[in-house]
Structure 1
Amino acid sequence: MLRVVAVLLLLANLGYYAWTHGALAMFGMEPARFSEREPQRLLQQIRPEVLRIDKDAPAAPGRPASAPGS
């Protein structure tokens, strides 16, 4: 009985692994993240050239996370 449960769990894990890595896509079973490939996501961006990342910018103004004396 325990052997049957172990084999079923192993098969379920293998099936989940195959599903999450897109191996079942040929059967029409794939997670939602595989239906959003990069070209479509790039077309959905709105003005990506405006984005600017400042490494040396100070943190947003406000209280520190742990105020002294509180």
Structure 2
Amino acid sequence: MFENLKPPRMATVIEAAKITGLAKHYVRQLALQNKVSHVRAGKKILINVEKLIEFLNAGENGGATC
């Protein structure tokens, strides 16, 4: 049943900033404004990397949407 289930790639704000080349502050603000999919693990914010990239690509194609 769960054999084909692939968990999302999650990264800390710092890791997501390095992957995308964005500033840490900007990535954190996107999460806090609920513009990208994320979860909190204690004090850390874990960003769904695929959703962050989709959000950024949507901006290139006429505007990023939530």
Report which of the two has the higher share of helix.
1
Q: TM-score, normalised by structure 2?
A: 0.24
Relative contact order, higher structure (CA 8 A, sep 6+)? 2
Higher Cα radius of gyration: 1
Report which of the two has the higher share of strand.
2
Q: TM-score, normalised by structure 1?
A: 0.23
